[in-house]
Amino acid sequence: MNRSYTHTLHQLPPDTTEAWLFEPFAARSKVEREWANRGKQLKLHCAYKSLLHAVLEEKLLEGEKQVLIRYPVIEGDEPQRFRLECYPVNGLFDGQVSFEAVEAVISEGKLPYYEVVTDSTLHRIAVPVRWVTSPTQKRQLVACGWIINQRDEGRYLATEFDTIFNDTCQYFSAMPLSANSEYKNDAPLFERLTVSVSLPMRDVPLAVGNEAISFIEAMHEDIYFSALEIIRYRFNRSVGDRHLVIGQVVPDIVYAEQPTLSITVECSPLNHTDINDSRLSSDLGQLEHWLSPQQITCQLTELAGSRFGVTSHQGRAVSGSAVIHGMPVKLAISGGQHANESSGIVAALRAAHTLKQRGNIDFTVCPLENPDGYALFRQLCENNPNHMHHAARYTSTGNDLTCGTSHESLIRGLAKEHLRADVHLNLHGYPAHEWTRPLSGYVPDGFTNWTIPKGFFIICRYHSGFESHAKSLLDVAIKAVLGFDAQKQQNSEMLKRFYDIVGDGQFEVAQGVVPYMISENNATDYPIEIITEAPDETVYGEAFRIAHESHYRVVLAVADALEHTDL
């Protein structure tokens, strides 16, 4: 498929007086001036996060000490949805923000709206949304273009942004699929499905943490997860099934003046050439950038343990190392399961070197479990270095590594054969800025807890009978984070912004600083699993260093505690 699209911003009907488009402020302002020079009055708003854009562009809160935001709640939609869309307005305003939910309905030709109430003013800000039925037969309230004409008539306006997405979803719904509906022998439906999109919409950084307005990133997220959802639906798989073996879905979204869409499907095995520099720019502990595969390999070689490995679906080496001296404490360390979460890879290697030097613990380390996903992550970062890149999250066969039965998924079993560890330190990451899907209901389905960063997060899972030990080790991990001032500060700042918007979270918080969850789960590979989640998708510099330092401190703290624990 190859299609070009009209840039809606430059093709508005001549009787338009007001419109909402998926466009940054600078582009909309330029067109408003062009119309004014022709003697026509036109007001253009942003169709994405309309309240945030109104606050930024019209300086609604300038000089105010406190503000009340009344947000619509529409039956059938996520109740918090329009409150979440306000993020990160609280980080852009020095005063106090409070929220009030107001029941609303969507009427023909009318839009729901926010009310922004200050001591002296009341502003109404319309939200362009419409009900659609997704290809998976789910009713969703999605962001959309909207137009008002000279007769004050309002209607939905198809834009290149949502038309490209809808055309892509239609392709997913109609594309021929293999008869291998049971996914026997882990055979993918294709090797790679590439969705190349160009959008005339540049990213706009915000003055809050790592936040930015990015239509390009939003399109990546919507296309990638929609592909999984639609194909899963076509095979009658349950929502959230991570065993789906379809192949590698690659949304390659870039900036260009001409909106285009191209979809290609490759069914032959992919050839790969990974050319990397093995040299490190600094000591591992000071790294401010993710490692190359060759650097990872060199670090494993330096460790000089007993090497083991398997081969990924695309033919890359998946390597681990076992350092065993017959010690009573046995630990498993892994990173890179989700390959766009890169800070844990550095931390796994750092911890391995330190533990090897101490010599008082037996351990295995698999720093990069998903090299195919990591190759895609690095490829996608060339054009969009700060994006989340969730297309690199799973393996190249399209499933989560822990849900596979071949290729790189075998590395977990091989590590366990080398060492029956007591505890697994599973080092992960999550988005360092807001994660949205505006064309699929805004809140990413199944990932509600991870839409807004809240600092370094810890998850503890344990087998039946190990609860007390798990709680003790969780406490150790939490104290390791509390003892790291830079991480403690980051957590405090992120949690404040999170709570200001969300109000509450589905997790506990230790000493008001470290969010965590703990639960019994007998499906894990080891009796106790501690998952560390750093906000690292995708950061560099000091933020990256803080992320891998926190992982590292947790691993060492747990290792120290195990020396004094009888499991």
* Superfamily, domain 290-482+508-562: Zn peptidases (3.40.630.10)
C-alpha radius of gyration, the chain, whole number: 25
Pairing mode of beta strands 192-199, 139-143: unpaired
What would the mean pLDDT of 314-329 be, rounded to a whole number?
Answer: 95
Q: Is 68 helix (H, G, I), strand (E, B) or coil?
A: strand
Task: Give the residue among 122, 126, 228, 208 at the shortest CA–CA distance from 168.
Answer: 228
Confidence bin at 239 (pLDDT 50/70/90): confident
Confidence bin at 173 (pLDDT 50/70/90): very high
pLDDT at 567: 63
What pTM, to 2 d.p., does this model score? Answer: 0.95
Extents of the domains making up the chain: 2-164, 165-266, 290-482+508-562
Share of the chain above pLDDT 90, in %: 86
Quote the mean pLDDT of the chain. 94
Selection from 233-242, 306-315, 440-449 with the highest mean pLDDT? 306-315
Q: In what order do the strands lie in the sheet with 423-431?
A: 306-311, 317-323, 362-366, 330-335, 423-431, 528-537, 457-462, 514-520, 508-510
Identity of residue 195: V
pLDDT at 241: 84
DSSP 184: G
What would the mean pLDDT of 382-402 be, rounded to a whole number?
Answer: 96
Check whether 186 has a pLDDT greater than 80: no
Query: Is 367 in contact with 298 (CB distance < 8 Å)?
Result: no
pLDDT digits (tens, 9 = 90+) for 513-556: 999 999 999 999 999 999 999 999 999 999 999 999 999 999 99
Query: Is 316 in contact with 309 (CB distance < 8 Å)?
Result: no
Check whether 95 has a pLDDT greater than 90: no
Check whether 40 has a pLDDT greater than 80: yes
- Transcribe 417-470 into DSSP letters: HH---SEEEEEEEEESS---BGGGTBSPTT-GGGSS--SSEEEEEE-TT-HHHH
pLDDT at 277: 64
Confidence bin at 94 (pLDDT 50/70/90): confident
Q: How far apart are CA 239 and CA 236, in angstroms?
A: 9
pLDDT at 278: 65
Tokens of residue 426, six digits: 């599973």
Check whether 182 has a pLDDT greater than 70: no
Q: How far apart are CA 208 and CA 196, in angstroms?
A: 30
Tokens of residue 400, six digits: 């989560």
pLDDT digits (tens, 9 = 90+) for 501-522: 998 888 999 999 999 999 999 9
Task: Give the residue among 415, 404, 449 at the shortest CA–CA distance from 313.
Answer: 404
